[in-house]
Amino acid sequence: MLRALRDSVWCLLILGVVAQQSQSVQAAEWGSLSGKFVYTGPPVKQQKTAFPEPPSLVVGPQGGIKNIFVYLKARNFKPERIHPDFRKLPNLVVIEHRNHRFEPHATALWQPHQKLVISNQSPRVHVTQLFPLKNQRPDIAAIGPGRKETIPFEYPELLPIQINCDIHPFETGYLLVLDHPYVSISDETGTFQIKNLPVGEWEFRVWHEQAGHLAAREEWQKGRIKIQIKPGENDLGVIKVSPEMLESSKR
């Protein structure tokens, strides 16, 4: 009986070591990429009109630039390289017509696991138009107040695509369709973070609607970032963006 008890203890110890090693290996397989875009130009003022056109450059109170896309550029990304936590993402990505705007103004979608929903939360009729590069242009009828339209995508897109309203041309937005979930869009502080990236050398793209591919640093030719993702946090720090960078970058 003593021997059986001793064997059981050894089994538990071995299982504990194996489990700990497995967790360590799993933790070592993933990293995150983060940074903060800060505008170095003069304060940006938005014109106040009855139907304000959304500014292409949104700068927060502390100088952070909002709506900059940072995304992994990889063709035919293998599903097994995607962290399992992303399976918890909702199946629908919703863009609303609200307050004479598309809300959110910039968003992303993981194809084919997510579909787009255009929801009209305004008292007016809207005719939404999307301008994809690879997918067939959807034929969307007029969307009445309180109604919505669901749009699937067959292929990932090369760039964020523009969305607008035929009736209200001041309403514009941008949608990025990818075949993986590794994308982040900077908030009003200019901060972005892409979590649970597989470790290894990857290429990322930086894109902003005013600049197109944003070469915010000298080595970021045409907005390309090549970086070795290591386990844990990979912080690019503060990324300064001048007015000249926004004007000189090419789409």
For every residue of 71-138, DSSP letters joined together read: EE--TT--GGGS-GGGGGS-SEEEEEEETTEEESSEEEEETTT-EEEEEE-SSS-B-EEE--SSSPPP
pLDDT value of residue 14:
44
Q: Which of 135, 163, 180 is the last residue of a domain?
A: 180
Same domain as 174, residue 214? no
Q: How far apart are CA 50 and CA 133, in angstroms?
A: 33
Q: Tell me how many domains the chain contains.
A: 2
Same domain as 154, residue 101? yes
Same domain as 57, residue 126? no
Rounded to an integer, what is the distance from CA 104 to the centroid of its chain?
Answer: 12
pLDDT value of residue 46:
62
pLDDT value of residue 249:
56
CB atoms closer than 10 angstroms to residue 84? 8
- Residue 140 is classified by DSSP as -
Q: Which of 180, 214, 236 is the last residue of a domain?
A: 180
Same domain as 165, residue 212? no
Give a yes or no: residue 19 inside a domain: no
CB atoms closer than 10 angstroms to residue 83? 15
pLDDT value of residue 141:
75
Q: By residue range, what is the domain housing residue 31? A: 27-44+51-82+181-251
Beta bridge partners of 161: 175
Same domain as 172, residue 185? no
User: Considering only CA atoms, which of 129, 53, 56 is closest in space to residue 95?
Assistant: 129
Q: Which of 149, 180, 211 is the last residue of a domain?
A: 180
pTM for this structure? 0.85
Query: What are the pLDDT digits (tens) for 37-83?
Result: 999 999 887 666 555 566 789 999 999 999 999 999 988 788 899 99
Give a yes or no: residue 201 inside a domain: yes
Indicate which CATH number applies to the domain containing 58.
2.60.40.10
Same domain as 128, residue 240? no
pLDDT value of residue 9:
39
234: helix, strand or coil: strand
Sequence length of the chain is: 251
Rounded to an integer, what is the distance from CA 102 to the centroid of its chain?
Answer: 16
Residue pair 81/203 in contact by the 8 Å Cβ criterion: no
Give residue for tokens 């609303």. Answer: 96
Bridge-based pairing of strands 92-98 and 115-120 is parallel
pLDDT value of residue 90:
96
Q: Which residues of the chain have pLDDT under 50?
A: 1-2, 5, 9-28, 250-251
Give a yes or no: residue 16 inside a domain: no
Give a yes or no: residue 10 inside a domain: no
Q: How far apart are CA 35 and CA 227, in angstroms?
A: 13
User: Considering only CA atoms, which of 162, 99, 153 is closest in space to residue 128?
Assistant: 162
Same domain as 138, residue 59? no
Give a yes or no: residue 14 inside a domain: no
Q: How far apart are CA 229 and CA 109, in angstroms?
A: 23
Indicate which CATH number applies to the domain containing 158.
2.60.40.420
